[in-house]
Amino acid sequence: MINKYDLIIIGSGPGGYIAAVRGSQLGMKVLVIEKEYLGGTCLNWGCIPIKSLLKSATVFNYIKNCSNYGVFVNKGRVDFKKVIKRSRNIVNNLRLDIKLLLKNNNIKIIYGFGLIKSNNIIEVVSSVGQKINTYYSNHIIIATGGISLNLDILPINNIDILDYKGAMLVKNQPKSILIIGAGVIGIEFAYFYNSIGTEVVIVERMDRVAIFEDKDISIQLKKIFIKLGIKILLSSQIVNTIKHKKNFQVNIKNLYSNIFINCDIILSSIGVGANLKNLGLKNIGIKVQNKKILVDKFYRTNIKGIYCIGDMINSPSLAHIASAEGIICVEKIFGINISLLNYNNIPSCIYCQPEIASVGYTEELSKKLGYKIRVGKFYFSSLGKSRINDSLYGFIKIIFEDKYGELLGAHMIGDNVTEIVSEVVLARKLETTAYEIINTVHPHPSISEGIFKAVYNAYSKDFVKKVGLRGLEPRTSTLSV
């Protein structure tokens, strides 16, 4: 007997379980198929657990620097196993929350691998290939997420050569770590390990860190990391590695020389690819290009009734994007008249300290696209709240199109910027002008004041003439990193 559902979703990550809940809210009978743990990579091995590690690192940094606040305590220490345990406990609790959320929405969960047999039939099999059951639906969403990309010369064993998953389960704090890749994962782990006393080296094949961020952000982050004692090798690649009894010797080649680095463990963080395995895509003819499933603007594949969202398609690998795609996909299936997702207005965040947040075009891309721009920048060293927080190394950079004042982008590096970037996202969504931001009262003292002052900096001469906001020009910071 084939079990029938209105909607079947393969994968329970932030794309899958959010889509499932939205389907249930719209009256659909929903089934979720999950091969491992509810919550997917984001909850179990990515966004959530690493932010827990970063919080521990930040607390430890507060303790190390507490005398700056007039507070004196005994020298702190890190219990690495408890730091990891706290991270895993948070994951376990949130996993239970998702299970309860799905249960309260009458969503059925089946554990196993979803093998697509046709455009409306899925066979669920166990990890050893044993058939569990067969299910039918007119609508199937593939949301199986991403997997680590690996270098051929560094096969992942998750013992001493790690991907992001293995990095969550390290048993003992290493004395030294080599991190390959200066993207989000590499940057966040570099901050964590450096904060707790591990020697950190970053190897990046590009000419700067955080390559997808505005160039000014990349430059500032590099300065801060170097000041913290993190060694950064840019325009560099791994030539080979030699495994010794207790450590590795890694040969790195850059533009100038060969370098040899000794390290206890290696973290490979070169990116994330689509998890296309064990789905039966070739059997039914789903089109794949550059190892991503092809979809239209409503996430429909070339096979009727089959859809795809998240890391599986050619969109940025962000949990909040997958969730948004899931909602749009389900609402389109249901027949709701929806708006397309504007991928140019999605916030991107990195949770090292100082934090990084951005949305929209970089200055470099704005010019490349032919915009005549004006740029406003405000340094946190001139902000009262930043002085209070003892977090001075950063700025907010706002980019406007000059003729009509379109808000093209914003780029921030500093304390709690991941919490304030949504103001710019909303402003861009509502097509807000600089004049409206200038005339929106921001609380004092606050980090968000920096947005107002960066915008004012871009239009300072105009606003002095038109609205008389004299005396608010941000002073030029003399603080060096």
In the chain, the domains with their CATH numbers are 3-147+273-343 (3.50.50.60), 161-270 (3.50.50.60), 354-466 (3.30.390.30)
Angle at 414 between CA 409 and CA 420, to 5 degrees: 55
**Overall pTM > 0.85:** yes
288-to-15, 190, 284, 318, 424 alpha-carbon distances in Å: 19, 34, 12, 20, 35
Residue 182 exposure: Cα atoms within 13 Å on the Cβ side? 27
d(CA 107, CA 8): 10
- Exposure pattern of 325-349 as b/e (b: 16+ CB <10 Å)? bbbbbbbbbbeeeeeebeeebbbbb
Would you state the torsion angle of the CA atoms of residues 82, 54, 270, 161, taken in this order, to the nearest 10 degrees?
-20
d(CA 205, CA 254): 8
- Per-residue pLDDT tens digits for 152-202: 888 899 999 999 889 888 999 999 999 999 999 999 999 999 999 999 999
Contact 252, 427 (CB under 8 A): no
444 belongs to the catalytic site: yes
Among residues 105, 112, 104, 97, the alpha carbon closest in space to that of 7 is found at: 105
d(CA 67, CA 21): 48
d(CA 45, CA 91): 9
Among residues 211, 14, 174, the alpha carbon closest in space to that of 97 is found at: 14
Radius of gyration of the chain (CA): 24
Among residues 364, 334, 438, the alpha carbon closest in space to that of 215 is found at: 364
Q: Where are the alpha helices (DSSP H) in 146-280?
A: 164-167, 184-195, 215-228
d(CA 70, CA 59): 16
- Per-residue pLDDT tens digits for 60-77: 999 999 999 999 988 889
- Residues sharing a CB contact under 8 Å with residue 462, sequence separation 6 or more, in sequence order: none
pLDDT digit string (tens) for the chain, length 481 residues:
679 999 999 999 999 999 999 999 999 999 999 999 999 999 999 999 999 999 999 999 999 999 999 999 888 899 999 999 999 999 999 999 999 999 999 999 999 999 999 999 999 998 878 888 999 999 999 999 998 888 888 889 999 999 988 988 899 999 999 999 999 999 999 999 999 999 999 999 999 999 999 999 999 999 999 999 999 999 999 999 999 988 999 999 998 889 999 999 999 999 889 999 889 998 899 999 999 999 999 999 999 999 999 999 999 999 999 999 999 999 999 999 889 999 999 999 999 999 999 999 999 999 999 999 999 999 999 999 999 999 888 999 999 999 889 999 999 999 999 999 999 999 999 999 888 998 899 999 999 999 999 999 998 766 555 544 443 444 444 444 4
Name the active-site residue from 244, 320, 411, 444. Answer: 444
Contact 192, 339 (CB under 8 A): no
